Amino acid sequence: MSRARVAVASLIVVAVVMASGCRGHRGGRRSARSPRADTLLSPAESAAAALNATRQPGALATVPAAPVELWTGPGKRPFEVATRTSEEDAGHARRFGSITLQTALRARPLGQYPCTSCHLGRKVVMAEKRIADAHQNVQPEHPKRTGALCSTCHAADNVELLALENGERVTLDETYRLCAQCHFAQVDAWADGAHGKRLDGWQGRRVVMVCPDCHDPHNPTVQPRIPFRAPRIERTRGHGK
Amino acid sequence: MSADRPPEMPESAADGTVLQKRVDRRLALKILAGGVAAGTQALGACSPLSAATDQEREVKLLAWQEYIKGNYRFMTDAERAETIARLERLAKLKRAEDVAIQSTGAQPGVVFGYAFNISKCKGYRRCVEACINENNLDRQAATQYIRIFEMEDGVIDLNEADATFQHEVPAEGHFYLGTQCFQCADPPCVKVCPVGATWQEPDGITVVDYDWCIGCRYCVAACPYWARRFNWSAPEVPVEEVNPNQHYLGNRARKVGVVEKCTFCIHRTRQGRLPACAEACPTGARVFGNLLDPDSEIRWVLANKRIFRLKEDLKTEPRFWYFTD
């Protein structure tokens, strides 16, 4: 009798401890304020990151994809967006990729993401000097050329979000909606498959890459590179040449 | 060689031989092979002077069986499985490679097409690199299926184009155009083959049976696009760089004296994946898909973009289009 009572009491204690532990972990200010890169990953994302770490450079992977709601592909078919895994090709552009996909894809520790690790509770001062200090990786060619300010694309009061011209706020998962405001021809071609890249093959689910996978949003022009080695035989021009 | 020929010889009892069974040349060779195998084994077993190891004897036997096999097109499924098992074993014994060779057939209702955006291509040659790795191309002779031409803006003249550029790209005032096998709907290379070693598959890919090719190179001469490559020496691929995912008609090990070509990565595309070149392209200049699917991306490009093909007047009907933004 007494043994059963002890067992019930200990169960209750365990349950209370577990519940408080969970609450503390989820709702604690501390974990939200200074999140570390590894704790940002969900189990599925960690698995994807581990998988991606084993892949060859240049390989593409099946990654969590999000459906596109505003555009349809050829034949009015819905499609999804995802991002590629190649360190070499995506490089710096990936840093500006989507929130969930980015964390899932990057094997190395995250750089300056999430923004709230610095910006939480502080006013964002959008001065050029400060940006150069804090965001040394940003080359603001695009704003320079177009006369845009940081706040043209970034929500000034919430640095994690992007601001559309109609006042709507979107996450970094929906960069294509931001780009589409000006680059409508490119986005139409992208939705129909003439611009951008498709992941996972030509058949089945259509998953495409998003704009920042190839274009650095702050410096979108494709930069010159040294090509892969030239062919050894120049060409054939018939006999004797 | 007619494509309608049945895989087995007809069983006509009327003109039967002494054995009451027609024995064609190939079957006779097979029977002989059994004898040779038995003989080789017997020789190896009873002769202490023979230095041949078990492995060498197995290689000899497999090589002989490979030598007398038929054309891939006329093999039964069982024969295809047998030859693939032999080739995989030979790869293991001779080159210590663990490869998996497919014989995946064409998907019904699929004809592959390719579109190449000359506004997007920047001449990085990442496609070339991916192709070499994917298709086990000869590293010694530096074989490349894909060629990227650098041309001055405003003129498309492949004679004046530079394919051997080696400077930072994209170069000012230039554009880039890539060529490879165009998988013509009416391929002149197939017509000239005297032995039927090359043919067009139902999904539009022109393939070569490397074990049936006699190396006459008529097809190389017949191709107006210079899409075929001849192995002047035995191809060399370091073991650690060999792509083990292979297809009998695609990227399996080739030998000296045979012709090979781009197969739109037959081992990938028949499983729904993109060709290696399309997957590697960092600019998204390459669009690949099923021409018979009206809702495919390639069909959208063909219907909505300004497109052209090379040497269209030759009426080879290439399934490879170029387009601009």
Note the pLDDT of residue B255.
Answer: 93
User: Tell me, what's the pLDDT at B175?
Assistant: 95
Please, what is the average pLDDT of chain A? Answer: 62
Q: Are A50 and A31 in contact (CB under 8 A)?
A: no
**Beta-strand runs (E) in B34-82:** none
Is residue A7 a part of any domain in this protein?
no
| pLDDT tens, N- to C-terminus, chain B (325 residues) | 444 544 444 444 444 444 455 667 776 766 666 665 555 555 445 444 455 788 999 999 999 999 999 999 999 999 999 999 999 999 999 999 999 999 999 999 999 999 999 999 999 999 999 999 999 999 999 999 999 999 999 888 888 888 999 999 899 999 999 999 999 999 999 999 999 999 999 999 999 999 999 999 999 999 999 999 999 999 999 999 999 999 999 999 999 999 999 999 999 999 999 999 998 888 889 999 999 998 899 999 999 999 999 999 999 999 999 999 8
Averaged pLDDT score across all residues of chain B: 88
Q: Is residue B162 part of a domain?
A: yes
Q: Which CATH number covers residue B133? A: 3.30.70.20
Which of A127, A120, A85, A123 minimizes the C-alpha distance to A105?
A: A85
A91 touching chain B per CB within 8 A: no
Range of the structural domain that residue A54 is part of: 36-214
Q: Are the beta carbons of B51 and B216 closer than 8 angstroms?
A: no
Q: Is the pLDDT of residue A220 over 80?
A: yes
Cβ of A58 within 8 Å of Cβ of B141? The answer is no
Residue B246 included in any domain: yes
Q: Which of A92, A115, A96 is nearest to A174 (CA)?
A: A96
- The predicted structure's pLDDT at residue A214: 78
Residues B299 and B174 in one domain: yes
Closest Cα in chain A to B146: A231
pLDDT at A126: 57
At A240 the pLDDT is 38
Q: What's the rounded Cα separation, in Å, for the pair B262 and B246?
A: 13
Q: How much is the pTM?
A: 0.75
What whole-number distance in Å separates Cα of residue B321 and Cα of residue B230? Answer: 25
B11 found inside a domain: no
Min Cα separation B286/chain A (Å): 8
Structure confidence at residue A184 as a pLDDT band (50, 70, 90): confident
Do residues B195 and B214 make contact, with C-beta atoms less than 8 angstroms apart? yes
ipTM: 0.77
Q: What is the number of domains present in chain B?
A: 3
**Choice between A232 and A89, residue whose per-residue pLDDT is larger:** A232
Q: Is A195 on the interface with B (CB under 8 A)?
A: yes
Domain carrying residue B64? 25-102
Q: Where are the beta strands (DSSP E) in B180-257?
A: 198-200, 206-208, 228-230, 245-247
- Position A31 scores a pLDDT of 35
B154 & B171 share domain: yes
Contact state of A230 with B164 under an 8 Å Cβ cutoff: yes
Give pLDDT, residue B139. 93
Q: Is residue A138 part of a domain?
A: yes
- What residues in B contact A74, CB-CB < 8 Å? 295-297, 299-300
Q: Does A108 touch chain B (CB under 8 A)?
A: no
pLDDT of A67 over the 90 cut: no
Strands (E), B220-305: 228-230, 245-247, 259-261, 286-290
What is the nearest CA distance from A186 to chain B, expressed in angstroms? 9
Residue A108 lies in a domain: yes
Kindly give the pairing relationship between strand A66-67 and strand A80-82.
antiparallel
